[in-house]
Amino acid sequence: MLEKITKILREYKSDDDLAVAENSTFEELELDSLDLVQLVMDVEEAFGVTIEMDTPVTTVADLIKIIESAESQ
């Protein structure tokens, strides 16, 4: 999961060397709230899930949790 998200993030940021860890915050990755929506839409496409924008997402781990929850529904 982290690998797939890292790939999406690197593509979005056009940065092949971007370091991404589960505890990386999106602020550290220099993504603002609207970048985060774009990322969520990319994740939706990649994982075939629908993610509501209601839950606050601060770290990559938060996003992974939401994807896992969406996948189990």
Partner 1 sequence: MGFKIIGTGSKLPQKAVSNAQLATFLDTSDEWITSKTGIKSRTICTDETITDLATQAANIALANANLNIADIDLVVCATMTADYAMPSMACCVLEQLGGACPAFDVNAACSGFVYALDVADSFISSRKAQNVLVISAEMMSRMLDWNDRTSSILFGDGAAACVLTAGDSLKYINITATPQIAPLFTKASTGNNPFANHATDENIFLQMKGQHVYKFAVTTIQQEINLALTALNLQANDIAYFILHQANTRIIDGARTRLKLPPQKFPMNIEKYGNMSAASIPVLLDEMVRHNTIKSGDMLMLIGFGGGLTAGTAVLQW
Q: Is residue 36 within the footprint of partner 1 (CB under 8 A)?
A: yes
54 is catalytic: no
Minimum CB distance to partner 1 smaller for 34 or for 73: 34
Token pair belonging to 16:
């092949």
59 φ, ψ (degrees, to nearest 5): -120, 170
Among residues 69, 22, 62, 31, which one has the least CA distance to residue 47?
69
Within residues 41-70, the interface with partner 1 by CB under 8 A covers: 41, 53
From candidates 25, 38, 58, 69, binder to partner 1 by CB under 8 A: 38
Q: What gap in Å lies between CA 71 and CA 21, rounded to an integer?
A: 21
* DSSP code for 22: T
Minimum CB distance to partner 1 smaller for 17 or for 34: 34
- Residues taking part in catalysis: 32
Q: Site residues (CB under 8 A) for partner 1? A: 32-34, 36-38, 40-41, 53
